[in-house]
Amino acid sequence: MKSILVTGANGQLGSELQQLAPKQTDLNFTFLNRTDLDLSDSNAINNCFNDKHFDVIINCAAYTSVDKAETEPDLAHAINATAVETLAIIAKTQNISFIHISTDYVFAGQNYRPYQETDPTDPKGIYGASKLAGEQALLSINPAKSIIIRTAWVYSQFGNNFVKTMLRLGKDRSELGVIYDQVGSPTSAQDLATAIISIIKHPKLFSLNGTEIYHYSNEGVCSWYDFAKAIFNYSELNCIVKPIETKDYPTPAKRPHYSLLNKAKIKHDFDITIPYWQDSLKTCLNIIHG
């Protein structure tokens, strides 16, 4: 039986993995949240592995406050880069497989076709730069049997996310302006968690000689405007959605205008079928609405 450590246990992805864990009779999960393990403290990370052995680390933890990162660059870097470096060293030293979750924000967001894993990175804010630094540290240390999964527009029944924000605002307001000139594909954290479990059980992971990068989001494409419209339609909310441009909703950190990710590599290597974004949205809304 494989022993799995999950950091960021109370986040969206970590919470979805906790939902799936009891059904995995061949996997033994240990979940750690920020209270259990302070990822800004390298000593605490090292001490966590002093008397425990794991076969796989899944690093779901991250500093994800995109705008706040602009004023807290040191903390963002400590969690998104330095902690990843520490975990990567442990993974290599102890021969542990490492699955690290990264983001579309490592790209400039100005592409004309879905980003491939080999495309040049060029983050436009502190958050993206800190996540890229974590990727680079992991790739430099290069532990075997390890992967980076870049994802985008993550939502879930758990935590704070776009879907839950739209549901709250849609009940309180008669109309809402939502950005239409940023496009990508939403990612159901439940689908990503399911994919990660499939990856852990796939022999391909444990045959890797180093660290590989993969992309994962749901299939299809939409804007934030389209996403909001679908949320309201499926939830039967009468809030009117008006399309606005990015310039009409300024934020401290720049957002990628184009976040589509090419998923061909992860589908091929791990035999994964990825659901269409609207189907996964309906599933999540059914859970939220009970």
Q: What does the pLDDT look like over 132-148, one tens digit per residue?
A: 999 999 999 999 999 99
Minimal CA–CA distance to 213: which of 149, 131, 132, 140? 149
Q: pTM here?
A: 0.97
In the chain, what are the domain boundaries? 2-160+185-220+261-275
Cβ 259 vs Cβ 152: under 8 Å: yes
Taking only the tens place, the pLDDT of each residue in 219-247 is 999 999 999 999 999 999 999 999 999 99
Mapping DSSP to helix (H, G, I), strand (E, B) and coil, where does residue 103 land? strand
Give the model's pLDDT for residue 52.
84
**DSSP 8-class letter at 272:** P
Known catalytic residues are 127
Tokens of 238: 């009468």
In the predicted model, what is the mean pLDDT of residues 103-108?
Answer: 98
User: Which residue's structure tokens are 């958050």?
Assistant: 127
Category of 237 on φ-ψ map: left (φ > 0), alpha (ψ -120 to 50) or beta: beta
Cβ 78 vs Cβ 94: under 8 Å: no
Question: Helix count (H) and strand count (E) of the chain?
Answer: 10, 12
User: Which residue's structure tokens are 């899944």?
Assistant: 58
Tokens of 219: 């299939």
Q: What are the two backbone dihedrals, phi and then psi, of residue 51, each rounded to the nearest 5 degrees?
A: -125, 20
Q: Which fold has domain 2-160+185-220+261-275?
A: Rossmann fold (3.40.50)
Q: 168 exposed, middle or buried (CB, 10 Å; 0-12, 13-18, 19+)?
A: exposed
pLDDT above 70 as % of the chain: 100
